Structure 1
Amino acid sequence: MSNDSLSEVLWSAPPASRRGPKPRVGQDMIIEAAVRIADEQGADAASMQRIANDLGVTKMALYRHVPGRPEMVALMIEAALGPAPEPSGAWREGLRQWADAMYIVFARHRWLSAFATGARLIGPVELSWMESGLAAMTDLKLNGMEKLDTLVLIGSLVRGMVEQRRDRHDGWEQTMQAQLLPVLKLREDEFPLTAAAFADRSIPDSSEQAYEFGLNRILDGVENFVATR
């Protein structure tokens, strides 16, 4: 794989249609199948062979449209993200709309958090999400890097909360408390602050509540930072 190959797949114009019989599969069909399989069974299940089997073609037939798995993953990210939101209102409300839209997408495609991160070539759809987030901060008195760092902070929160939600299961909290609370009770003198925190359950814990708390604190921090400049 090379950056040139990824760049061509992500940024080149779609090939012009040719005369003659249409191929049984195309790039859009391949990526749609890959995303569906990843959503149902995890990203590792979306192998070239599994996709070929799903579409009823040979694996070699896929390579005519997608050079390899790295290119396929890049296109899967683009397809899963979908159109960027169009935030409205003041900057705080706009960033909340942007974050909520990302949370919905990442929760729907839980494999995304493992792939849509790190230093890599991104495509036009993902870049449009960045543009959308920056648009929400048009009137905010931050420089360009500070605005980008704000998007990184929010994106990290979203990925972390989605991963936490993914790893939880029905009855997770009850199971954890059943295992941990007896230990804390016996060892309260060693971990008094932890025992006290778990004893204070005034608000039911959930990944959604943790997400709301984290997002509000990020937005509060940005607001306070701008106010004190």
Structure 2
Amino acid sequence: MGRDQEPLVELLWGAPQKPRRGPKPALTVDQLVRAATAVADAEGLAAVSMQRVADELSFTKMSLYRYVPGKAELVALMIDRALGAPPDLTGNDWRERLRAWAMRMLTGFQAHRWLVEATVGPRVLGPNEIGWLESALVAMEDTGLDGGERLDAVALIAGHIRMIAQQGTTEQPERDAGMIMGGVLREHGARYPAVCAAMASAAAGGAQDQGLEFGIERILDGLGLLVDRRAD
């Protein structure tokens, strides 16, 4: 860990800090995080800036730097707060527990659309985010998979959930996408017979908007084969 990351680690993992000098604090870090999260929820992550948060709280921009070093640190705190405590997985088997974990993650991403964008790339993780990883790994303790396999399984499930969350804010993303594509295919469908046939079949069989469940179940099926192989 570089020295430039130490302030962020202290913010995420240390005890709440008070300004080291000056008058009695008029704000708290939690107030800053809640105000920034409200902006991101309403307008997206790009709308969050130290100046915007200061305006929302009726303080000066410079006064905020007594609590957080900058926007990057503020966003890290927002991520951990938005994710919340990891789910309590009480399912009867590992499949049920992982399915519940995935659905809870999707709920979080849907509640805070900016989370998908904010949680990309190497970065310092907070206690809640690592707690989510811990929760998923514990859910697979009885599978016989080794640590690397369980980590890869978590990454695979999380990747699927992120992809679903990225599709947009509508509750029927596949159907909406199909309607948009349908207008194009009415003009150019002869060039793409397989696409037209697949979309027609999905619409006739009521198989639209099944990407979430289909993906989760196929991932779990694949893990199940690996678990059975380990048992043998």
State the TM-score, normalizing by the size of structure 2: 0.88
**8 Å Cα contact 2:83-2:129 kept in structure 1:** yes
**8 Å Cα contact 2:39-2:48 kept in structure 1:** yes
User: Do structure 1's residue 95 and structure 2's residue 98 form an aligned pair?
Assistant: yes
Give the one of 127, 133, 143 matched to 2:130.
Answer: 127
After superposition, the CA RMSD in angstroms is 2.3
CA distance in 1, matches of 2:156, 2:4: 29
Aligned ranges 1:51-66 → 2 under 5 Å: 51-66=53-68
Task: Give a deviation string over 1:60-95, Cα, whole Å, max 9, x none.
Answer: 111111111110111010010011101112100000
Counterpart of 2:110 in structure 1 is: 107
CA distance in 2, matches of 1:46, 1:85: 28
Partner of 1:138: helix, strand, or coil?
coil
**8 Å Cα contact 2:94-2:139 kept in structure 1:** yes
Task: Give a deviation string over 1:151-210, Cα, whole Å, max 9, x none.
Answer: 1001111111000134859955323212224311x32xxx3322221221212522xx21
* Residue 41 to residue 28, structure 1, CA distance change in 2 (3 Å): same
Q: CA deviation at 1:21?
A: 7.3
* Residue 170 to residue 74, structure 1, CA distance change in 2 (3 Å): same
Give the one of 179, 191, 207 matched to 1:174.
Answer: 179
**8 Å Cα contact 2:83-2:108 kept in structure 1:** yes
**8 Å Cα contact 2:40-2:114 kept in structure 1:** yes
Q: CA deviation at 1:136?
A: 0.8
Any stretches of 5+ residues in structure 2 without a counterpart? none
User: Do structure 1's residue 183 and structure 2's residue 185 form an aligned pair?
Assistant: no
CA distance in 1, matches of 2:188, 2:128: 48
The alignment-based identity, stated in percent, is: 43
Any stretches of 5+ residues in structure 1 without a counterpart? none
Counterpart of 1:44 in structure 2 is: 46
Q: CA deviation at 1:22?
A: 4.8
Give the one of 21, 28, 31 matched to 1:29.
Answer: 31
